[in-house]
Amino acid sequence: MYPWWRGAVLYQVYPRSFSDGNGDGVGDLPGITERLDYVAGLGVDGIWLSPFFVSPMKDFGYDVADYRDVDPVFGTLADFDRLLARAHALGLKVVIDQVYSHTSDAHPWFAESRRDRSNPRAGWYVWADPRPDGTPPNNWLSIFGGPAWEWDSRRRQYYLHNFLKEQPDLDLHHPEVQEAILDVARFWLDRGVDGFRLDVANFYMHDPLLRDNPPRTHPDPVKPYLLQSPVYNRSRPENLAFIARLRRVMDAYPGTMTVAELSGERPVETMIAYTVGPDRLHTAYSFVFLKQDFSAAFIRETVESMGAAWPSWAFSNHDVVRVATRWGGERPSSAFAGMLIALLATLRGTAFLYQGEELGLPEAEVPFENLRDPDGIAFWPGYKGRDGCRTPMPWAAAAPHAGFSASSPWLPVDPAHRALAVDLQEADPASTLSFTRAFLAWRRLHPALARGDIRFWEMPEPVLGFERGDEGERLGCLFNLGRESVSVRLPVGVSPLGSSFLTGASIDGLEVRLAPSGVAVIIVS
């Protein structure tokens, strides 16, 4: 019996931008609940909810001030319980974000820790004395710019923050901190969630000796962080001991899962290290398909290098430029967007779709004066930040604010997104939304696409070809990643049998013709 998450398709909901239930311009839990029928209708297996916990929103929820309650902007715990019950009634699993690397500086734990050096939580965060000249204890840099250290006048020490200065790092070397975090996990598992997406899971531990990070070269260092190899404040071997403790907690709740977000210079190796073995996480994703250019060879090399580990794959999320723009250019076609959906859902692994990906939404243009992301504001214009992928979901083309809210939303709706609104695409059988529904429904009829092995075929660029198979059936998958029509022959020993899913493709004997962004998923012998 396969676990539910193995080969599942999960739909990421960014609560601030999905659906506004109370009309204040910010998406919320009741708004999500109202739209769960739409999500279930896509044919996905569950949802991943980005943070909805109490927070000052300096990093829009990834700075948690109370792990066990809902921020009033999103609703209440009762609203979450109703969302969870409705999702389960629709057959959807619910995975929620958990941010264990750091808290908000407004968290009561930090308020106590910073009070003095002798209080019960004095060691719950990473504190260090200055160097003799008053400078920070080492050269570590924050991802959001500047040193990863902030001076605190109460303790006369620096505290570590790998992200914003309002996000102090917990010291997970401390046994009491580990227990507190594991109790947070149990709180939500007891409430009935089906799993956790673990934010920055390889940032949990730091080098206790606080050694300087070595330099590294980078072709486009828009951030100084990119000129340092963070070997002493990321992917520390001590992380894995805490991961093992967390896995034991998960194992006490049968049917639950963990998916880690991992970043690093060797993303595939890190994914394997964090997922292979009974005391590791269930699955993980990296940024390997979230920031790289794509090609058939690159996709093949990445997937093959995972070996027996079970990966998760995402092409878009709330942190990166939407894939329709990143890989498709300024005017991505609906055929290109549909091909990416089919490709993501046929690779061996668990697939994560980001809200709006099923509409083929391109990256939104957000003027500087409307930016909310501190990362984008700090590094404009070389880096425009994450607001362009976080703008409101367009539900109705002609409605105020595209049907997202009755009030002016927290980020503006991109006018280009109105033409791709849900109501228009539902009425168009050739739309990306219609393709997504049709393909995911067809995929459900063929379990080998979810759980089967994968074997790549030798195909010329820009064609990606592979076979998914189990004891029940074999399916050949062909994708034209290029802008010109191509014809390819099926490999020796592979013959089409019957039912196929073709779009922009045709089969003549053993020859398959693929239009630009053409897709052919073929039952083969």
Homologous superfamily of domain range 453-524: Golgi alpha-mannosidase II (2.60.40.1180)
Q: Residue 522 has what pLDDT?
A: 96
Mean pLDDT to the nearest integer, 23-46: 98
Query: Residue 46: pLDDT above 80?
Result: yes
Based on the number of CB atoms within 10 Å of its own CB, is 391 exposed (0-12), middle (13-18) or buried (19 or more)?
buried
Express each pLDDT in 484-495 by its tens digit.
999 999 999 999
Which residues partner with 521 through β-bridges?
477, 501
Asked if 261 is an active-site residue, the reply is yes
Mean pLDDT to the nearest integer, 391-411: 98
Taking the domains of the chain in order of start, what are their residue ranges? 9-101+175-441, 453-524
Mean pLDDT to the nearest integer, 249-267: 96
Mean pLDDT to the nearest integer, 14-20: 98
In the block, tokens 């039912």 appear at 499
pLDDT band at 472 (very low <50, low <70, confident <90, very high): confident
For the domain made up of 9-101+175-441, the CATH class stated in words is alpha beta
The pTM of the full predicted model, rounded to 2 decimals, is 0.97
Catalytic, out of 199, 363, 373, 467: 199
Asked if 484 is an active-site residue, the reply is no
pLDDT band at 213 (very low <50, low <70, confident <90, very high): very high
Express each pLDDT in 319-370 by its tens digit.
999 999 999 998 899 999 999 999 999 999 999 999 999 999 999 999 999 9
Express each pLDDT in 134-189 by its tens digit.
999 999 999 999 999 999 999 999 999 999 999 999 999 999 999 999 999 999 99
Mean pLDDT to the nearest integer, 196-218: 97
Q: Residue 331 has what pLDDT?
A: 86
Residue 509: other Cβ atoms inside 10 A? 9
What ranges in 35-174 are assigned the alpha helix state H?
A: 36-41, 77-89, 108-113
Query: Residue 299: pLDDT above 90?
Result: yes
In the chain, the amino acid numbered 409 is P
Express each pLDDT in 370-384 by its tens digit.
999 999 999 999 999
What ranges in 431-513 are assigned the alpha helix state H?
A: 432-444, 448-451
Express each pLDDT in 422-456 by its tens digit.
999 999 999 999 999 999 999 999 999 999 999 99
Based on DSSP, count helices (H) and strands (E) in the chain, helices before strands.
16, 19
pLDDT band at 35 (very low <50, low <70, confident <90, very high): very high
> Among residues 288, 262, 256, which one has the least CA distance to residue 274?
262
Listed in sequence order, the residues at least 6 apart from 305 whose beta carbon sits closer than 8 Å to its beta carbon are: 268
Distance CA(37)–CA(42), nearest Å, equals 9
Encode 254-268: b = buried (16+ Cβ within 10 Å), e = exposed: eebbbbbbbbbeebb
Catalytic, out of 97, 150, 261, 357: 261
Residue 209: other Cβ atoms inside 10 A? 7
| 115 dihedral zone (left: phi>0; alpha: psi -120 to 50; beta) | alpha
In the block, tokens 């109703």 appear at 82
Helix (H, G, I), strand (E, B) or coil at 503: strand
Residue 286: other Cβ atoms inside 10 A? 25
Encode 64-99: b = buried (16+ Cβ within 10 Å), e = exposed: bbebeebbebbbeeebbeebbebbeeeebbbbbbbb
Query: Residue 293: pLDDT above 90?
Result: no
Which residues partner with 488 through β-bridges?
512
Query: Residue 1: pLDDT above 80?
Result: no
Q: Residue 386 has what pLDDT?
A: 98
